[in-house]
Amino acid sequence: MKLKCSSTMECLPLREPFEIARGVMTGVDVVVATLHDAQGHRGRGEAAGVDYDGESPASMTEQIAAVAPRLHADVTPAELMQWLPAGGARNALDCALWDLRAKQAASRVWTLAGLPAARPVQTAYTIGLGSPEEVRRKARAAQHMPLLKIKVDATRHVELLRIVREEQPNARLVVDANQAWSRTLLEQLLPVLQALGVELIEQPVPRGTDAQLRDLHSPIPLAADESCTDRGSLPPLRGLYAYINIKLDKCGGLSEALALAREAEAMGFGLMVGNMGGSSLAMAPAHLIAQDCAYVDLDGPLLLTHDRDAAMAYDGAQLGVMAPALWG
């Protein structure tokens, strides 16, 4: 017996353009994989893929179609890891498989994974790059968000952070440079970032150049994002970063994300979970990883014009547990 597999490409419109150091987005392009068994159970998974690695909805759809004939009724996540590389296609299929198995067992996915019951978590809220006026407006509108993640680049950084701090004197701040800095710039900025109360800096330097951070002794912890994909990426990051940012699109699904979190903790890394954008269907499996993370960045649906049916509930920064009708 085989599982029936289909995939659809969608563009999820953003409330307003979202800019980071790599460019500007007006919508999030995603693929939704759906698995059906012979008994009528359905499982779904959503992936945005890794755009800076050249992934697109079209390329992910092609990958899913290529392995669809091999999806037998008892297929396992381990087989998906053999058939597909880490990335969005495997993420969509892996999450769809977890959802399907939960529906088949009439159980919650955390039970199948041997985890404690999921509980609500507090997410960061991201403020994208923009003019000083735009950043001030967004910071003022986020008064109810206690943890703000501020996107910066090589030239727009301190001024924007000072604006956010003016508007949000009590907020916790995380800075995300998306690979736009050098060690020299980082060292120049560290004193003022520390004075502004920044508590974490994400991916300051381009991946592949992480060794320049050795012996930095930064007073603010650094988190590896683009430089951390799956478990194989961890060893070179030791001694350079205090945290890793786990994203299901990067590592290729919930199965690898769970293993990555365990191995990273054993190696002494702190945990962060993030997203490449998307709806509640993409945030739901990441919510399981969030249970053990010091930093949670699962605000993707808050940036969209609309979300899925049975969407996850956001009460300010509080992200509730997903309903079975959505996923898991």
- Asked if 250 is an active-site residue, the reply is no
Q: Are 21 and 152 in contact (CB under 8 A)?
A: yes
Q: Is 322 helix (H, G, I), strand (E, B) or coil?
A: coil
- Asked if 247 is an active-site residue, the reply is yes
Q: How far is residue 326 from each of residues 22, 112, 129, 172, 316, measured CA to CA in Å?
A: 31, 17, 31, 31, 20
The string of DSSP letters for 248-273 reads HHHHTSHHHHHHHHHHHHHTT-EEEE
Please name the residue ranges forming H helices in the chain.
57-67, 77-83, 88-105, 109-112, 132-141, 158-167, 183-195, 248-251, 254-266, 280-290
CA distance 249 to 87: 5
Of the candidates 103, 138, 149, 247, the residue annotated as catalytic is 247
Of the candidates 103, 138, 149, 151, the residue annotated as catalytic is 151
Please classify residue 223 by burial: count the beta carbons closer than 10 Å to its beta carbon, then call 0-12 exposed, 13-18 middle and 19+ buried. Answer: buried
Q: Which residues are catalytic?
A: 151, 247
